Chains A and B, each alone.
Chain A
């Protein structure tokens, strides 16, 4: 008989009964564990983003989901790592998208994405253009602005007021969507470090079985999250 990690077994129960109070060992697998630290973000070597792009993504993420207030920020959750890895992979390359021409990037947005650029190319083209706009309107590139001016610049970007060509008009929506994805996706994708975002909102991750919880009224689920690799926070 094999003890599976994270699962109470008969043998585990028997071993636990001998060692300590009955029932206690059964609860242990459900509880949080100490998760290993990763090297700090400034030691991360981006797979896709250049140094200035990385500096922009770090600065933008820090405003889109800031660190102050309740809950972790995008930086503590290592969202920039997630974005870099996504842009280096199938998503960044639009591998599953239909990317045959002719392209009409200025079409009614309701007809969907019509840029000839992949998401990775949108980041590459839009970041220097937006940085130049920030320099013109706020006196410095985005990463060097104060938090207040960064928020104002991001608001202008969101409203489509920074003069990006139609090919790059989805830049802000991609950036915001990718930031939220990195905040909430399983940590194996590079963000949501130590499942902090899941802990914050109360999402239990990949537990995957709640048959006894259907129908309970106004009782908060007590267990913390589990990641795809079996780790618990």
Chain B
């Protein structure tokens, strides 16, 4: 197939987003010859995110200028085992990134650590409530690492990314004003919290009066100037309101570009190529290792075999799983027999929100950051009696807004006509008078929610598209309805003139059209049992020991938080195992 074979590299990295940049930087320090292959375009703050061009809502916010193009790469979706899956033809529910930096360019920057119990969720549920509370078909697992083991690596990521926040638990000491329910951390965030907008203050006051514990949401938007451990610099956030879906013009939002890449590009032993799409990871004849990757070079039209001693799979979670399936690395999961591991335990994120409108309050919604605001964790996974409430899961709840971009973010009260004179009048009456309180919650893994290869649809290279089988389950709907009740109590205490509810309810089915979350997790999950995980606790493939798979595809079910924090921490955790152990003696580490 290959028209060319290139000289061998020590390490080939597939995808140059957060995890590829982290692994590149860490392994480059050992003098290894590293090549990163990125299928999208090269991107830099200047010129790609510079003022004023970046402030084009239509181009980036609505037409998804920085996102993956389905014409080049997409998947099919069905809600159950009997439905015919159909292609995700244009973006909607989730927005995978594209190009250097990946989704780390266009994310909000909400950077969390999982709770202590989330790393060992199955064990926690069994110990605290008994295995019999788990509904039929639920397939949750332990991660195989603990919060204590991950702490130094989570800390490393937060120091590189320059996270702004307020610790709630430093070495077991609860910190006033931080999240008292968080896992123990070794030190405070590298930067203090961002300033709050008024809506966040109103939420925090109302939550405090009800006895809850508001704290600043941890943010990858820098509150002050910062220099990280690689010598990379961040500037203080401008509260510009063009954060998620946009690249940051101000070097304020943590991204691979801002935090790592310019330092990495100075390393003579690191190189990267763009518009080079890996088609397959090639296996050795005995099937126990990979020999390298075959990629399509869009610049030249060549198909190239790139030999390498180590293959690091660092694409977006869905693409990691697709590539493993296409390459025959690990047994594909079968939901009927329950056997196989690749594609197993795909999960998503359960979110909901309450809108509040006030005639006499002016919020200037365009003054915003991607990840500011005040949150509470009083209804987090470790704080709920699952046996009593009848579900397994939890949410963090936030009062915040990210911007007031009028095409996407103009929010109207219930009953507003969708067009005509009434719509226009309402747009003038209510823009700037709206705030919202959102829940961001867990999604459990289930036997029949998984990823495999589609039998019908092909990509531009003739490869089968990946097929997603996913729907919302009663357990997770009960969880979000519980949050609705708690949020509405807070919202009503603020006495809004109008209020709206947006939560999944009984009978809700997955709808690919409205944006929900790009927190697609699982499918190549980590663990300590090769029968239920595709990679071991170091993120090393059980089947090919020189293939390591980074990213949120490793999560055995979704946490209640945004995935970038833990996927950054896991990348440092895997880098340490590679550097201190594997590279000295390549073999299965478990």
- Could you give, for residues 193-233 of chain A, a 1 whenever the CB lies within 8 Å of some chain B CB and a 0 otherwise? 00001101111111111110111111111000010101000
B513 adjacent to A110 (CB under 8 Å): yes
The docked-state distance in angstroms from the alpha carbon of A203 to that of B420 is 20
Q: Which B residues have a C-beta under 8 Å from some C-beta of A?
A: 51-53, 55-58, 62-64, 69-71, 74, 77-79, 84, 86-90, 92, 194-198, 201, 236-242, 249-250, 360-362, 364, 366-367, 369, 372, 404-407, 410, 418-421, 423-425, 427-428, 431-432, 456-458, 509-513
With contacts A98-B89, A186-B58 taken as known, whether A180 is within 8 angstroms of B407 at the C-beta atoms is yes
A66 adjacent to B424 (CB under 8 Å): yes
The docked-state distance in angstroms from the alpha carbon of A19 to that of B422 is 49
A37 interface hit (Cβ, 8 Å): no
In chain B, what residue has the closest Cβ to A201? B431
A107 adjacent to B86 (CB under 8 Å): yes
Q: Which A residues have a C-beta under 8 Å from some C-beta of B?
A: 63-66, 68-71, 73, 90-91, 94-100, 102, 104, 107, 109-114, 151, 154, 158, 176, 179-181, 184-186, 188-189, 197-198, 200-211, 213-221, 226, 228, 230
A208 adjacent to B238 (CB under 8 Å): yes
B197 adjacent to A215 (CB under 8 Å): yes
The docked-state distance in angstroms from the alpha carbon of A112 to that of B57 is 23
A210 adjacent to B87 (CB under 8 Å): no
With contacts A96-B71, A100-B458 taken as known, whether A112 is within 8 angstroms of B86 at the C-beta atoms is yes
With contacts A113-B89, A181-B407, A228-B52 taken as known, whether A70 is within 8 angstroms of B425 at the C-beta atoms is yes
The docked-state distance in angstroms from the alpha carbon of A148 to that of B362 is 35
Chain A contacts for B425, CB-based, 8 A: 69-71
Give me 12 other A-B pairs in contact (C-beta within 8 A), A112-B77, A201-B427 excluded.
Answer: A63-B419, A63-B420, A70-B424, A71-B425, A95-B71, A97-B90, A100-B458, A112-B86, A201-B410, A215-B195, A216-B198, A218-B361
The docked-state distance in angstroms from the alpha carbon of A200 to that of B430 is 11
- The smallest beta-carbon distance between B99 and chain A, in angstroms, is 13
Tell me whether chain A's interface is mostly helix, strand or loop, or mixed.
loop
Could you name 18 residue pairs across A and B whose Cβ atoms are closer than 8 Å?
A: A63-B420, A65-B423, A70-B425, A71-B425, A98-B87, A102-B456, A112-B512, A154-B419, A186-B57, A189-B58, A200-B428, A201-B428, A203-B431, A211-B195, A216-B198, A217-B201, A218-B360, A228-B55
- The smallest beta-carbon distance between B175 and chain A, in angstroms, is 22
The docked-state distance in angstroms from the alpha carbon of A186 to that of B1 is 47
B410 adjacent to A112 (CB under 8 Å): no
- The smallest beta-carbon distance between B80 and chain A, in angstroms, is 12
A209 adjacent to B240 (CB under 8 Å): yes
Q: Name which of B69, B88, B198, B427 has the most chain A CB atoms within 10 A of its CB.
A: B427
The docked-state distance in angstroms from the alpha carbon of A181 to that of B87 is 25
Chain B contacts for A99, CB-based, 8 A: 71, 89
The docked-state distance in angstroms from the alpha carbon of A158 to that of B419 is 10
Chain B contacts for A220, CB-based, 8 A: 362, 364, 432
In chain B, what residue has the closest Cβ to A95? B71
- The smallest beta-carbon distance between A214 and chain B, in angstroms, is 4
- The smallest beta-carbon distance between B39 and chain A, in angstroms, is 15
A70 adjacent to B194 (CB under 8 Å): no
Chain B contacts for A209, CB-based, 8 A: 238-240, 250
